[in-house]
Amino acid sequence: MAEYEWDPQKVDQQRVFRNGGWVALGVFVLVLIVTSFYMVDTDEQGVVLRFGKFARLAKPGLHAKLPLWIEVVKTPKVERVFKEEFGFRTLGAGVDTVYSPQKMDNESLMLTYSRFHSDFLTHFPGKVRSLGSSVAHIAYVARGAACGAVLGNVHVWDVAAGQVILQAAGGSIRDLSGKTVEISNYLGGEKIDRVLVAAAKGQHKEIISTLAAR
């Protein structure tokens, strides 16, 4: 029978590997725990996206979700009132509202799609820009960074996630007649057969009035 030779170096290596495995497991469990909970503040609403698609809404408070990046949470401010002013600035609101005498013609921002200027003329009193992404345009409107977004040549996957965030912030997507657009009618993958306007509540009419089809 062969004699067993005790090797201190091998024993130390096995101990390191074993301890390292426990450390890695502990880190993984900690990451699972940390990414399984989220907080929604009192002036926010949680929008839970599972693999990039809308899953549910969450009220203020502590909530649990699927860990890691299976579910991602957006928390737009919904209790704040964002007011967009086109070409003017209010200095003091009240019974006798005070307006600034300074013109604000280049302050407002409207986001558009790439072929917008081929399809429309506009006298929008501000800047007209394109970021190249319908979802980014809608997100800008939801956070109050843009007055509105004109969306053309889009499919349901271009606007669905943005619509959820915009609705949570109090806005909506309408067509040029001012009617609410049911995005769910286009789940078959066909192109949405109309131009859309994403804006805060009460702002669609103002934006649409600045557009004229070529």
Domains recognised in the chain with CATH numbers:
105-213 (3.40.190.80)
Instruction: Read off the tokens for 197.
Output: 């306007």
The per-residue pLDDT for 198 is 93
Is residue 111 within 8 A of residue 149, CB to CB? The reply is yes
| Reported pTM | 0.51
The per-residue pLDDT for 88 is 55
What is d(CA 167, CA 169) in angstroms, rounded to the nearest whole number? 5
The per-residue pLDDT for 65 is 94
The per-residue pLDDT for 40 is 92
The per-residue pLDDT for 10 is 58
The per-residue pLDDT for 151 is 93
The per-residue pLDDT for 11 is 53
Q: Report the SS3 class of residue 168.
A: helix
The per-residue pLDDT for 13 is 63
The per-residue pLDDT for 85 is 56
Give Cα 100 to chain centroid, integer Å.
32
Structural element, H or E, at residue 14:
helix 8-34
> In which residue ranges of the chain is pLDDT below 50?
1, 104-105
Could you count the other beta carbons within 10 Å of the beta carbon of residue 73? 15
Instruction: Read off the tokens for 17.
Output: 């590997």
